[in-house]
A and B are shown apart, each in its own frame.
Chain A
């Protein structure tokens, strides 16, 4: 502790779990927006990742509320958010945004895309799988041309609604922080926008990583046109995201409001490693330089000629660095905003527990859980149709 903090501020209110939650919802929004690139904007190159993006979004969306539940003082009362939501509370309204996104956007889109498969698989599978697929068809077994056309059209419209919904999903998380006038580190008009673009960045990077990794594990060829396109989009998104962050930074320094003294101490001291080193240097600048040089974002074939093999490795590494960078952003916003006193006269520290509800172990578990769920989803709802039309591919 340094300087003066209000006596009640000794303990950080929102810890690692609340850092994790915007990270997870960001991945959801980002993965979905990537999927929508193919459907709505007809970016054909990324078609191999379409279903994978949706399943990734679903896996992470299912896990996203868990850190919130775990950190509540009374998780058994969590239903109150849906029963008596306060109309002025961003957090309460977010419950509905989440429900809307899960039910009306993501689940529906997946359903419409897979319905044809469900019907086929319900007829060709045996045992519990047969029943699972039968239930999943919801009884809509019409496979006429007209019906399938409706599926595709519905999917497209849902994606169109889905894009602003995804923006709303993660922009809202930004608003939850950005609307707190009591906290000068959070209170900013740019907060929802920065959150959204960093979500897009993390989502694209995640899908890029999973695609390359999954294809490698399955022994399939990696479609370099696809990954090049993903890398290009990642680059563009990162440029916008970085510009917004720099804008916020410059604006703060220029206006030099009362909070600038304590916030400067915060950034130069407590947040130096997580912000200057992890977020900016490792998480943004290095990936930008790599992508600038090897991806076709600004020049066809990139500025440096590379083999597909090398480029794949670089993309993989870049995607990992980006994830570290985006996680650091969440850390710097959530934890950073609580490391200084609202009296603007002091700083405190955050000690991460190892075990316990808010500990490192729980966080790692919640990071791994979506991967496990994704693995299950990939088994049950295979995104790759390498075998005959409509048949699930081999175990991947």
Chain B
């Protein structure tokens, strides 16, 4: 073999050996046990400290509050949403106490009106709704059902109410088209209002010649969009047509 080759082979062999020795010292022990990563990392992450205790922990001592809350409209709202992380309190109940925020600003985080919130979620206008009064003056946080049922549908259906208010249907109360059982105001998801099911319903006002001369737009119900239900084209809460 040419002299160059032997010398080079020696040089490369030395480098290779150095790398192998380095590998022995530098690759962490648990690397590769579970996959291409350091298995010990999984344990470190598993053992990180927790801040939130979880609602089951609260119930262990505060069963009375839990009983009230789990029967109320706030049954889905976990304790630590309002009272902050409580793991330290669970570990040391006498010395570390959770927060009790009694200000309006806590409740408005969820309940202030915002059009992007889903329809039917209870929302109020913080400026108009009993300003300066703490929410808890009328609503017990663990059983927040309002002291009197809201009269206006718009109390929960704000987006719809606001849209209807600037439409041609502004003067119509919601009950014109929807029959609302009283229980809907206290159990809104289980008891639902009715909705019209037939074209003829809209026809009572809009079908020729029912209200001719009143200014209400009239159409011939036999021919006007007769294969569709009216509200497939006309949004009842804002029935304006055209651009």
Contacts and interface: CB of A to CB of B under 8 A. Distances in A.
B36 A147 contact: no
Given A84-B36, A86-B36, A115 B26 contact: no
A83 B23 contact: yes
Given A82-B19, A84-B31, A140 B26 contact: no
Contacts of A83: 22-23, 26-27
Interface string A85-100: 0110000000000000
B7 A138 contact: yes
Interface in B143-182: none
B36 A140 contact: no
Contacts, number: 43
A101 interface: no
A138 B8 contact: yes
B109 interface: no
Nearest to A137: B7
A157 interface: no
Contacts of B36: 84, 86-87
A141 B19 CA distance: 28
A139 B7 contact: yes
A142 interface: yes
Contacts of B8: 108, 138, 140
Interface residues of B, number: 18
Interface in B1-45: 2-4, 6-8, 10-12, 15, 19, 22-23, 26-27, 31-32, 36
A6 interface: no
Nearest to A151: B4
A146 B32 CA distance: 50
B16 to A, nearest CB: 10
Interface string A148-182: 00110010000000000000000000000000000
Given A83-B26, A83-B27, A86-B36, A147 B19 contact: no
Contacts of A82: 19
Contact of B3 (A86, A108, A140): A140
Contacts of B4: 112, 115, 138, 140, 142, 147, 150-151, 154
Interface string A215-245: 0000000000000000000000000000000
A84 B27 contact: yes
Given A84-B36, A86-B36, A147-B2, A140 B23 contact: no
A86 B6 CA distance: 33
Contact of A147 (B3, B15, B26, B32): B3
A142 B3 contact: yes
Nearest to A149: B2
B15 to A, nearest CB: 8
A79 interface: yes
A150 B6 CA distance: 13
Contacts of B10: 138
B7 A150 contact: no
A104 to B, nearest CB: 9
Nearest to B25: A83
Most central of A82, A138, A151 by chain B CB within 10 Å: A138
B3 A79 contact: no
Nearest to B11: A138
A80 B27 CA distance: 8
Interface string A315-335: 000000000000000000000
B234 to A, nearest CB: 32
Contacts of A146: 2
B116 to A, nearest CB: 15
Contacts of B12: 103
Q: List the 4 shortest-distance A-B pairs measured between CB atoms, nearest first.
A: A138-B7, A140-B7, A140-B4, A140-B3
22 contacts: A79-B22, A79-B26, A80-B26, A83-B23, A84-B27, A84-B31, A84-B36, A87-B36, A103-B15, A115-B4, A138-B8, A138-B10, A138-B11, A140-B4, A140-B6, A140-B7, A142-B2, A142-B3, A147-B3, A150-B2, A150-B4, A154-B4
Given A139-B7, A140-B3, 19 more contacts: A79-B22, A80-B26, A82-B19, A83-B22, A83-B23, A83-B26, A84-B31, A84-B32, A112-B4, A115-B4, A138-B4, A139-B3, A140-B7, A140-B8, A142-B2, A142-B4, A147-B3, A151-B4, A154-B4
Interface of A: 79-80, 82-84, 86-87, 103, 108, 112, 115, 138-142, 146-147, 150-151, 154
Interface of B: 2-4, 6-8, 10-12, 15, 19, 22-23, 26-27, 31-32, 36
